[in-house]
């Protein structure tokens, strides 16, 4: 991989993610400490349909940056635009609408154990007010694609790690998000499933979804060569060519 000192401008089209002098800290005032700088004046543009790996050693801040992109971790300073909007200047309703256009796969899946696999995946569509009949079609299609249809009535509580991970992925994808953020989305999957999944993410980016996938598995970016955002753990982020 060839490294550049700064992130390249978007190849074409409008930036769906735009960072300008973005500073992110963790464990600050809320924890009574001084906080730790995860990103120090980072700049980056990702165009619509862009695909980026998010790389860096454990603890470098990949999950924190994904949380910020999901509008769940406010920046300390600088500008963060997501899906063409700046949440710092959007009202609560506009921010909630923006969040609904983001699909996120968390490292710990965050499935609701009291709901079935089907209902977990249906949740974002129900929150959007979609008709039940359309929900059934959409959910069944994505469960089938991820090969978890036989699990549709089970509680996530009794699923394997890989099955839970695929359920979380189905929930992130079912609403056809404009931005897909995934934190180690293949760490519980075997090689064949991992390859299918990253190919799906690649396909989605070809269809216009902006995709950011965090991983510390060096094998993964080799499956789909794409630009990478690399965090060094000391606040710096560089963008590397595929």
Residues within the interface to ligand ATP (CB under 6 A) = 26-27, 31, 36, 38, 56, 58-64, 216
Question: Which residue number has the CB closest to ligand ATP?
Answer: 27
Distances 179 to 30, 37, 204, 207 between C-alpha atoms, Å: 29, 25, 10, 12
Q: Least distance in Å: CB of 60 to ligand ATP?
A: 4
Q: Between 56 and 177, whose beta carbon lies closer to ligand ATP?
A: 56
Helix extents (H) in the chain = 62-69, 92-100, 117-127, 132-145, 161-173, 191-206, 219-223
Please report how close the Cβ of residue 22 comes to ligand ATP at its closest, in angstroms: 14
The total of other beta-carbon atoms located within 10 Å of residue 205's CB is 20
Q: CB of residue 127 vs ligand ATP: minimum separation in angstroms? A: 26
What's the min distance (Å) between Cβ of 110 and ligand ATP? 15
Between 48 and 215, CB nearer to ligand ATP: 215
C-beta of 38 vs 142, nearer to ligand ATP: 38
| Residues 166/4, Cβ–Cβ less than 8 Å | no
Q: Kindly give the pairing relationship between strand 77-82 and strand 210-214.
A: unpaired
Nearer to ligand ATP among residue 61 and residue 124 (C-beta): 61
């Amino acid at each position: 991989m060839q490294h550049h000192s700064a992130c390249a401008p978007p190849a074409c089209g409008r930036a769906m993610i735009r960072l300008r002098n973005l500073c992110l800290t963790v464990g600050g005032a809320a924890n009574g400490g001084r906080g730790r700088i995860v990103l120090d004046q980072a700049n980056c543009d990702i165009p619509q349909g862009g695909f980026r790996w998010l790389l860096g050693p454990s603890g470098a801040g990949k999950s924190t940056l994904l949380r910020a992109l999901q509008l769940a971790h406010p920046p300390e300073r600088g500008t963060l635009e997501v899906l063409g909007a700046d949440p710092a200047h959007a009202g609560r309703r506009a921010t909630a609408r923006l969040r609904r256009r983001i699909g996120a796969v968390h490292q710990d899946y965050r499935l609701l154990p009291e709901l079935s696999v089907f209902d977990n995946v249906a949740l974002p569509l129900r929150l959007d007010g979609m008709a039940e009949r359309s929900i059934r079609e959409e959910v069944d299609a994505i469960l089938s694609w991820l090969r978890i249809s036989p699990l549709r009535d089970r509680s996530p509580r009794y699923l394997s790690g890989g099955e839970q991970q695929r359920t979380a992925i189905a929930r992130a994808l079912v609403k056809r998000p404009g931005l897909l953020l995934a934190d180690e989305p293949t760490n519980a999957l075997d090689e064949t499933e991992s390859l299918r999944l990253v190919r799906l993410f690649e396909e989605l980016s070809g269809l216009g979804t902006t995709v950011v996938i965090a991983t510390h598995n060096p094998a993964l970016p080799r499956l789909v060569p794409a630009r990478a955002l690399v965090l060094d753990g000391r606040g710096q982020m560089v963008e590397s060519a595929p």
